[in-house]
């Protein structure tokens, strides 16, 4: 099962916040491959998590905080971002290893477009691969556009989504809002939910 390959990498075109970065042809080609050729891990709990500014995702301090807990359980981590719906095992692959989308530059218009595009990508993923999973968990910031799109897609497909109730932790105004996902209180809530699903 050969994943998509490209004649050249477009690291400049992948970086930014807009329609061009949301629907970049390299992201679109990967999405088509993931829907039509990819075979996900079977009998796992799908855990939807955010992307990270630091790539690959697993080098992010936030991912380093919650990955050890998620990895204790029979789970399949799936990143939701402007780059698409990304199974974690492809974190090292281009273009997922070298794009950047800074939410600080999102306009209301691009947020709505992000939700629309992400809903369709999630809907395609759930239609193609939903039966592979034993459950579905969100570990996303409660105010994120990704969570809104995920909820809409799960409702559309009549899939029950278990959402970790994230406690609002006081952060610096300039902090990444996803930093709350690294807080021990929220990680413990994630652990408890995953234990309940087993």
What CATH number has the domain bearing residue 63? 3.40.50.10630
For residue 162, tell me if it sits in a domain: yes
Measured distance between the N- and C-terminal CA atoms of the chain, rounded to whole angstroms: 30
Whether the CB-CB separation of 31 and 79 falls below 8 Å is answered with: no
- Report yes or no: 57 and 69 within 8 Å, Cβ to Cβ: no
Residue 11 lies in a domain: no
Distance, C-alpha 103 to centroid of its chain: 14
Q: Are 36 and 6 in contact (CB under 8 A)?
A: no
pLDDT digits (tens, 9 = 90+) for 91-141: 999 999 999 999 989 999 999 999 999 999 999 999 999 999 999 999 999
Residues 6+ apart with CB under 8 A from 188: none
DSSP string, 73-114: SSEEEEEEETTEEEEGGGTTSTTTTS-B--GGG--HHHHHHH
Higher pLDDT, 103 or 69: 69
Q: Tell me the pLDDT tens digit for each residue of 21-57.
A: 999 999 999 999 999 999 998 999 999 999 999 999 9
Does residue 8 lie in a domain region? Answer: no
The answer to whether residues 35 and 124 touch, using CB atoms and an 8 Å cutoff, is: yes
- The 3-state secondary structure of 130-189 reads HHHEEEEEECCCCCCHHHHHHHHHHHHCCCCCEECCCCCCCCCCCCCHHHHHHCHHHHHH
Number of domains in the chain: 1
Structural domain containing residue 140: 19-30+40-197
Q: Which two tokens stand for residue 150?
A: 């995920």
pLDDT > 90 fraction of the chain, expressed in percent and rounded: 91
Pairwise pLDDT comparison (30 vs 198), residue with the higher score:
30
- In this predicted structure, what is the pLDDT of residue 1? 63
In a domain, 121, yes or no: yes
Instruction: Determine phi and psi for 47, rounding to 5 degrees.
Output: -115, 115
Q: Is residue 10 included in any domain, yes or no?
A: no
- Strand 162-163: give its sheet, edge to edge: 84-87, 75-81, 44-50, 133-138, 162-163
Quote the pLDDT of residue 118.
Answer: 98
């Amino acid at each position: 099962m050969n994943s998509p390959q490209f004649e050249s990498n477009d690291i400049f075109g992948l970086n930014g916040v807009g329609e061009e970065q949301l629907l970049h042809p390299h992201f679109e080609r990967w999405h088509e491959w993931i829907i039509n050729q990819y075979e996900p891990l079977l009998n796992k709990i799908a855990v939807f998590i955010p992307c990270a500014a630091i790539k690959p995702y697993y080098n992010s301090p936030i991912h380093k905080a919650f990955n050890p807990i998620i990895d204790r359980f029979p789970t399949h981590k799936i990143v939701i971002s402007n780059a698409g719906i990304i199974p974690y095992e492809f974190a090292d692959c281009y273009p997922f290893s070298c794009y950047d989308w800074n939410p600080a530059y999102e306009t209301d218009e691009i947020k709505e477009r992000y939700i629309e595009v992400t809903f369709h990508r999630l809907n395609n993923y759930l239609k193609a691969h939903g039966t592979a999973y034993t459950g579905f968990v969100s570990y996303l910031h409660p105010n994120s556009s990704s969570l809104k799109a995920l909820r809409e897609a799960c409702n559309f497909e009549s899939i029950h989504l278990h959402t970790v109730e994230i406690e609002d932790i006081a952060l610096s105004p300039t902090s990444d809002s996803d930093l709350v996902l690294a807080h021990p209180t929220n990680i413990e809530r994630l652990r408890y939910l995953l234990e309940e699903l087993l």
